[in-house]
Amino acid sequence: MVPLTKESVVGFFTKDIKSLDDLFMHGLQDLYYAEKQIMKALPDMIEKATNAQLKAGFEKHLAETEGQIERLRQVFELLDADPKGDKCPAIEGILKEGKELMSEIEGDDVMDVGLIAAAQAVEHYEITRYGALIAWATELGRTDCVPAFKANLAEENATDQTLTAMAERRINPKAQEKPAEKPAKSQAKSTARRSKPKSPARPAAKAKRNGTKKARRRA
């Protein structure tokens, strides 16, 4: 592994990333920075979540994120490099958007739905980045780094799937009740799509798909 050289700083128009090694190190530093930002953002999301299941899910992922940062430190060690973050504008934007959304939402149920969507944007970003790092490490013959990335990726994927399941089965249907209460004509069109799960055909279809046990719990 060739360490990132700073010789390019001398030339005004030269660039820092010249090889796949450089790109790999940049990606690692980017994700290290991103994970640390996520660790800082999660306590606020835990506080804002009202659904007990969602709150617990965020708490679990905060603990996992701490472990992920530790795994990334181990990768730096394998590469004989100091753990160092490189500002990730993408995660800053995703977290900023989530924070802004949270400040605009009124109502616990809608807040939970918004939190899930914001959290999934974070997970999806992480998933793409870990995928790239695994591919690059493999191409560079640094397969010693791959298990750490794969362990982190597995946790991001599991979190994403848990969030999807929560949104579909528990939290979203509850948030949909409120707009449906308003009988105003103008609401009818805008809530038409969201009200769809209330149609009698869907519970039957869901029951068929998920088995009767889940359908009973849902009802």
Name 87's Cβ contacts closer than 8 Å, sequence gap at least 6.
Answer: 33
Rounded to an integer, what distance in angstroms lies between the CA atom of residue 29 and that of residue 84? 6
Q: Give the residue at shortest CB distance from Fe ion.
A: 88
Nearest CB to Fe ion, comparing residues 145 and 175 = 145
Question: Is residue 90 within the footprint of Fe ion (CB under 5 A)?
Answer: yes
Least spacing, CB of residue 162 vs Fe ion, in Å: 11
What string of H, E and C letters represents the secondary structure of 184-205? Answer: CHHHHHHHCCCCHHHCCHHHHH
Q: Does 28 bind Fe ion (CB under 5 A)?
A: no
* Contact status: 33 vs Fe ion (CB under 5 A): no
Burial code (b: 16+ CB inside 10 Å, e: under 16) for 108-139 equals ebbbbbbbbebbbbbbebbbebbebbbebbee
Alpha-carbon distances of 67 from 12, 79, 132, rounded to whole Å: 39, 19, 20
29 lies in the binding site for Fe ion (CB under 5 A): no
Which residues lie closer than 8 Å to 142 by C-beta, 6 or more apart?
Answer: 1, 24, 78, 79
Contact call for residue 109 and Fe ion (CB under 5 A): no
Size of the residue set binding Fe ion (CB under 5 A): 8
Please say which residue, 89 or 183, places its beta carbon nearer to Fe ion: 89
Check binding of 88 to Fe ion (CB under 5 A).
Answer: yes
Displacement of CA 219 from its chain's centroid (Å): 29
**Which one among 4, 25, 29, 30 touches Fe ion, defined by CB under 5 A?**
30
Residues 119-178 that bind Fe ion (CB under 5 A): 126, 156
Work out whether 51 is an interface residue with Fe ion (CB under 5 A): no
Q: Measured from the CB atom, is 30 or 112 closer to Fe ion?
A: 30
Residue 46 found at the interface with Fe ion (CB under 5 A): no
Residue 165's CB is within 10 A of a number of other CB atoms, namely 13
Interface mask toward Fe ion for 56-75; x: CB under 5 A: ---------x--x-------
Cβ closest to Fe ion, residue 81 vs residue 90: 90
Which residue ranges make up the site for Fe ion (CB under 5 A)?
30, 35, 65, 68, 88, 90, 126, 156
